[in-house]
Amino acid sequence: MPIDTGLILDDVTKNLVAFLEPRRAEWGIREVVPYEGLFKSTYPRIEVNVTDATFERIESGGGYMCDVMADVLYFFQQFKDRVAKEELDRRSSEIGLFLAANPTLGGYSNDLILEAIAITALREQTTGSPVVVAVIRCRIRKEVFLDYQ
């Protein structure tokens, strides 16, 4: 029976969005959504992009340890260089530390490993103001079982 990685990636995306959503107001974020790949006028925002999955067979009767790479993208529109840099540093650290401190994502995963945090600037196509983004890359480990019905 082949493993449907699309369903697993979609499941991880939905669960990660649901896990981050309750903290939205505390972080001053307008919305937490799955990755859209388009520049919206709603900033600041978080988009969750789950990119790939690898599977390792484990000795538990049909189980696999699934490693899923996820990017939590924190978008912020930059109006002043100094303000955007400070905001991104602070918020990306808060979000990264929150994920690292909650490696089970509220009971959904077996572990979460914070891989990297990178910050870059993108040119906003509609207003001319740059959009800056912090990419918080993490590896989510989850045990999955195949259903042999």
State both tokens at 43.
């900033």
State both tokens at 141.
């480990």
Domains held by the chain: number: 1
Q: Residue 121 is part of a domain; what is its CATH number?
A: 3.30.70.1700
76-109 confidence digits (pLDDT tens): 877 665 566 777 888 999 999 999 999 999 999 9
Q: Which domain holds residue 84?
A: 5-145
Q: Is this prediction's pTM over 0.75? A: yes
Classify burial at 5, counting beta carbons within 10 Å of its beta carbon; exposed 0-12, middle 13-18, buried 19 or more. middle
101-149 confidence digits (pLDDT tens): 999 999 999 999 999 999 887 765 555 667 788 999 999 999 887 654 4
